[in-house]
Copies of this chain bind each other. A is one copy, B any other.
Amino acid sequence: MHAELLTIGSELTSGVTVNSNAAYLARRLAEVGIVCSRQVAVGDERAVLREAIREALGRCGLLVMTGGLGPTFDDVTLETLAEATGRPLIYHPEIAAGIRRFYTRLGRRLQRAAMRQAYVPRGATPLPNPIGTAPGVWLPLADAIVVALPGVPGEMRAIVERFVLPRLKRLGGGAAVETRTLRTAGVAELSIQAILARLRIPDAIQVGLYPHLRMVDVRLTATAPTRRQAQTALRPLETRLRRALGSAVYGSDEDTLEEIVGRLLVARRLTVGVAESCTGGQVCDRLTNVPGSSRYVRGGVVAYHNDVKRRSLGVPVETLERFGAVSAQTAARMAEGVRRLTGASVGLAITGIAGPAGGTSRKPVGLVCLGLSDGRRTRTLQRRFFGDRRSIKTQAAQTALNWLRLFLLKKNTRGNR
Interface residues of A (CB under 8 A from B): 9-20, 22-30, 36-45, 48, 52, 55, 70-74, 105-108, 111, 113-114, 131, 152, 154, 179, 181, 188-190, 193-194, 206-211, 219, 221, 273-274, 276, 278-285, 287-289, 291-294, 297-305, 307-308, 311-312, 341-343, 354-358, 384, 386-391, 393
**Are B190 and A113 within 8 A (Cβ)?**
yes
**Are B72 and A342 within 8 A (Cβ)?**
no
In Å, the complex CA distance between A89 and B312 comes to 59
**Are B312 and A305 within 8 A (Cβ)?**
no
In Å, the complex CA distance between A45 and B113 comes to 44
User: CB-CB < 8 A to A388: which residues of B?
Assistant: 131
In Å, the complex CA distance between A283 and B285 comes to 9
Contact of A188 among B108, B285, B293, B297 (CB under 8 A): B108
User: CB-CB < 8 A to A391: which residues of B?
Assistant: 131, 154
In Å, the complex CA distance between A97 and B273 comes to 44
- Min CB–CB distance A153 → chain B (angstroms): 10
**Are B291 and A280 within 8 A (Cβ)?**
no
Closest B residue to A105 by beta carbon equals: B386
In Å, the complex CA distance between A388 and B291 comes to 10
User: CB-CB < 8 A to A39: which residues of B?
Assistant: 12-13, 19, 39-42
User: CB-CB < 8 A to A390: which residues of B?
Assistant: 289
In Å, the complex CA distance between A282 and B286 comes to 8
User: CB-CB < 8 A to A41: which residues of B?
Assistant: 22, 38-40
**Are B298 and A305 within 8 A (Cβ)?**
yes
**4 other A-B residue contacts (CB within 8 Å) besides A22-B41, A70-B189, A74-B208:** A14-B27, A15-B25, A16-B179, A280-B293
User: CB-CB < 8 A to A210: which residues of B?
Assistant: 11, 16-17
**Are B291 and A298 within 8 A (Cβ)?**
no
Q: Quick one: given A193-B72, A298-B305, are A18 and B20 in contact (CB under 8 Å)? A: yes
Contact of A343 among B20, B48, B276, B305 (CB under 8 A): B305
Instruction: Label chain A's interface by main secondary structure.
Output: mixed
| 21 A-B pairs with C-beta separation under 8 A | A9-B208, A11-B219, A12-B23, A13-B36, A15-B23, A15-B27, A15-B30, A18-B20, A38-B52, A39-B39, A40-B40, A70-B189, A113-B193, A278-B288, A279-B285, A280-B288, A280-B289, A280-B293, A291-B356, A294-B304, A307-B343
**Are B14 and A209 within 8 A (Cβ)?**
no
- Min CB–CB distance A5 → chain B (angstroms): 8
User: CB-CB < 8 A to A73: which residues of B?
Assistant: 193
Q: Quick one: given A15-B23, A281-B282, A390-B289, are A294 and B40 in contact (CB under 8 Å)? A: no
**Are B38 and A289 within 8 A (Cβ)?**
no
**Are A342 and B308 within 8 A (Cβ)?**
yes
Q: Quick one: given A284-B302, A342-B305, are A27 and B16 in contact (CB under 8 Å)? A: yes
User: CB-CB < 8 A to A108: which residues of B?
Assistant: 188
User: CB-CB < 8 A to A206: which residues of B?
Assistant: 10
User: CB-CB < 8 A to A44: which residues of B?
Assistant: 208
User: CB-CB < 8 A to A193: which residues of B?
Assistant: 71-73, 113
User: CB-CB < 8 A to A298: which residues of B?
Assistant: 304-305, 307-308
Contact of A37 among B36, B43, B211, B393 (CB under 8 A): B43
User: CB-CB < 8 A to A10: which residues of B?
Assistant: 206, 208, 221
Closest B residue to A292 by beta carbon equals: B357
In Å, the complex CA distance between A70 and B210 comes to 10
**Are A211 and B302 within 8 A (Cβ)?**
no
**A-B interface, 6 closest residue pairs, ranked by CB to CB distance from nearest:** A281-B281, A280-B288, A15-B26, A281-B284, A15-B27, A299-B308
